[in-house]
Structure formats: structure tokens, C-alpha cells
Amino acid sequence: MVRKIRIYPDPILREKAEVVEEVGGEILALAEDLADTMIAHEGLGLSANQIGELKRVISVDRSEFSGRESDVQILINPSVVYREGEDVDEEGCLSFPGLYFDVKRSYLVVVKALELQGNKPVPVEITATGLYARVLQHEIDHLNGVLYIDYLKPKERMRKLREWKENLKEELSV
């Protein structure tokens, strides 16, 4: 089911998601909703926080970098256990429609998680670089209540948010 994406400044975006203790029907339904919502909104990733659920679950559309037409990955309790290098590239976020700017992130990350394979959670250790690493870091940040705007210096963040809000008002009034 496609769910409503929470838009900044919705307070749930600043909350820390809870660790998933058991992968049952509730989590499997959440995983399906995350995938459906991410695909419907053409995102590269989506966290449970962004659809109003404080559970440590993310979806990633790997088709952008795997070459496969449909390649959605669901990760439960993901955490970055190693990072290396620096990479600066433009990022956007479904919770900030239309707001894009450069963000400095690690070029390489190692993430430990449970990956849903079918309906079964399987422990994985993922080594990711480039765009894949960027998406994983962005979504895991969401689970910790950290937003990509937090990577901007305070004055720049205020300016970008002011411009973004003005643009949203203009789009809504058209």
C-alpha cells in the first residue's frame, strides 16, 4: 500500500526509530508499504520514519546501480559499522520535495543489517560505495532522527529552508 510521506517539519522525522525485535506480520506489512511508497514516489530510498512508523526499517531501490529492472532491498536494524573516504554529491529527500544540494558523506560504508529475502530476515554485511553508500547513509540517518539538512552550516540551512518553503508556497498556489 502506498502511504503518505511525512514532509518536514513533521516532528516524527526528528525522532529515533526503535530496534525491531521480531520480524512478524507487522514488519512484513511495513516493508511492503515502504517499497510500494518509495517506488510510487520514484525515490532511491525510504525510511519507516518517513511514513510515520518509528521502526528501524528502510527500503532501497538498487536498480539505479545494480542494472536490474526491479531491485528493492529491505533492511531491518541497519547500522554503519565502518566508513572510509569522502564524497560530495547532490542529494534530495522525499520529505523535502524539490530541495537539492551537495552533501559530504563517506565514499565507502560497511552496513550490518537483517535483509528481508522473501519473508525471511537474513543477517548481511554490505560493503557499498558511491551512490549506494550515499543512499544507505541517508536512510540510516533518518532512523536516527538526522536529516540531510543537518549537514549544512546553520546560516546556509536557514537560507535553504526559507527558499524551499517559499517555493512550496508558490507551487501550492498555482
Active site residues: 139
CA distance 109 to 130: 9
- Measured in degrees and rounded to the nearest 5, phi and psi for residue 71 equal -145, 70
Cell of 154: 546553520
Enumerate the β-bridge partners of residue 60: 45, 73
Q: Are 116 and 137 in contact (CB under 8 A)?
A: no
Task: Please calculate the CA angle 90-113-102 and round it to the nearest 5 degrees.
Answer: 10
